[in-house]
Amino acid sequence: MNEGYALRHLRKLMGWSFEEDNRETNWLRMMSDFKYDSYRDFWAGARFVESLLGWLQQFAPEHRRQAYALVREKLIFLSFTEIEHLVSRTRPVFVHDVLLDRVAGKSNVAKYLIWSKAETQKLYADLLQRTLFVGLSDGARVDGFRRANDGLISNEQVALGYDLSHEKWRDMHEELKARTKDPGARFEVLFLIDDFTGSGKSLIRMENGTWKGKLKKLAVSFRCHPKLFAQDCVVRAHHYIGTEGAKSAITALLAQATGPSGPKVWFPNPVGISFDLILKKELTLSRGQNEQLDELLDRYYDARVETKSIKVGGTDVKFGFAACGLPLILEHNTPNNSVGLLWAESSSPPAAPGHTMRPLFRRAQRHT
């Protein structure tokens, strides 16, 4: 659909005055060009304005301005360039900090003096070679991470996913021994990378008295390959983006995991976490903040969009997975922690009277 055609129909659909139409058309064109059109999961031949036009048609005329206000006033869109910036900062900022602590502990040299001594510089370089990087999801941008560190980190140090076969673990160990020319080499740092967490539940959670999550699965692999990792191996889980709530929840669960009530199989040392961009609680939407928005999210909702993985959050997705209430869009996908009205899509018209949800930013589901 032609953008100009879509904008003309949008004006009629919204009932904008001449002044409103001029203002909103300029804003929509600017934001579409600058950010929104880059969203990867728009259908071929369609972009943001066309998607917005279709999305707004699901609302009754009296509710369209409230729906548009959600996009106009609350939406947070992180573009490819912005996320790539976070990816490129990972090694020089967060990995660097882990390695400095490690070198300082091993050499008994203050962190600020490490670069003044040849032996500690060499130890730092050696530790970087003995660091294993693991992507925790397809959003971890492992390809971008590799390119940003070309010449510093070997491709054999980076695993695309965390559910690895025994053969893959063995191959990475063999590459480590060849790279360091040390037949007894072990990984001394395990650095885990993911793009986003809104609730922390995918990383670590308690479900019906059972420990679950990506860290739990990795701990089993870690323990199954004792010859790959040093006894005092540092484990760090890093997210490019996270919420304050996720940080608090993960921190509390990691403290519990190291105690007597923790998983039977766990890492021998405490797991550290880090985030580059923290979304403050003030950015989130919650029930009671805006009665009109509450009504909109309740009225235009279809419970059939809830999958088994969504039910892990313990709530519906009117305000997103685990009621995180985020108005967040990432250019490569929309988190299910965002309010459902932005991304949820009904699979078919309801058999009984009900609402069929249309997404503004169609979400690629990672879990069912």
Average pLDDT, integer, range 108-114: 95
Q: What percent of the chain has pLDDT over 90?
A: 83
35-49, 51-65, 251-265: least confident range: 35-49
94 and 141 fall within a common domain: yes
pLDDT confidence band for 258 (50 / 70 / 90) = very high
The verdict on residue 355 lying in a domain is no
Residue 1: what pLDDT?
57
The verdict on residue 332 lying in a domain is yes
128 and 184 fall within a common domain: yes
Residue 306 has pLDDT above 80, yes or no: yes
Residue 355: what pLDDT?
87
Residue 68: what pLDDT?
97
Mean model confidence pLDDT for the chain = 92
pLDDT confidence band for 6 (50 / 70 / 90) = confident
201 and 246 fall within a common domain: yes
26 and 64 fall within a common domain: yes
The verdict on residue 357 lying in a domain is no
103 and 232 fall within a common domain: yes
Residues 352, 160: Cα–Cα separation, whole Å? 44
87-101, 130-144, 223-237, 354-368: least confident range: 354-368
166 and 100 fall within a common domain: yes
Burial class (CB in 10 A: 0-12, 13-18, 19+), 225: middle
Residue 319: what pLDDT?
96
Domain of residue 97, residue span: 80-281
- What would the pLDDT profile of 278-300 be if each residue is shown by its tens digit? 999 999 999 999 999 999 999 99
pTM higher than 0.95, yes or no?
no
Burial class (CB in 10 A: 0-12, 13-18, 19+), 205: buried
Residue 58: what pLDDT?
95
Residue 367 has pLDDT above 60, yes or no: no
267 and 194 fall within a common domain: yes
Q: Is 16 in contact with 60 (CB distance < 8 Å)? A: no
The verdict on residue 365 lying in a domain is no
pLDDT confidence band for 308 (50 / 70 / 90) = confident
Q: What percent of the chain has pLDDT over 70?
A: 96
- Reported for 63-66, long-range contacts at CB under 8 A and 24+ positions apart, including other chains, are 63/296, 63/299, 63/300, 64/13, 64/14, 65/14, 66/292, 66/293, 66/296
316 and 227 fall within a common domain: no
Residue 129 has pLDDT above 80, yes or no: yes
The verdict on residue 162 lying in a domain is yes
The verdict on residue 368 lying in a domain is no
Residue 368: what pLDDT?
44
- What would the pLDDT profile of 130-184 be if each residue is shown by its tens digit? 999 999 998 899 999 999 999 999 999 999 999 888 999 999 999 999 999 999 9
The verdict on residue 350 lying in a domain is no
139 and 195 fall within a common domain: yes
pLDDT confidence band for 349 (50 / 70 / 90) = low
Phi, psi of 338 (to 5 degrees): -75, 155
152 and 236 fall within a common domain: yes
274 and 306 fall within a common domain: no
Q: How many domains does the chain have?
A: 2
Residue 100 has pLDDT above 90, yes or no: yes
Residue 352: what pLDDT?
55
Domain boundary among 281, 302, 333: 281
The verdict on residue 237 lying in a domain is yes
152 and 296 fall within a common domain: no
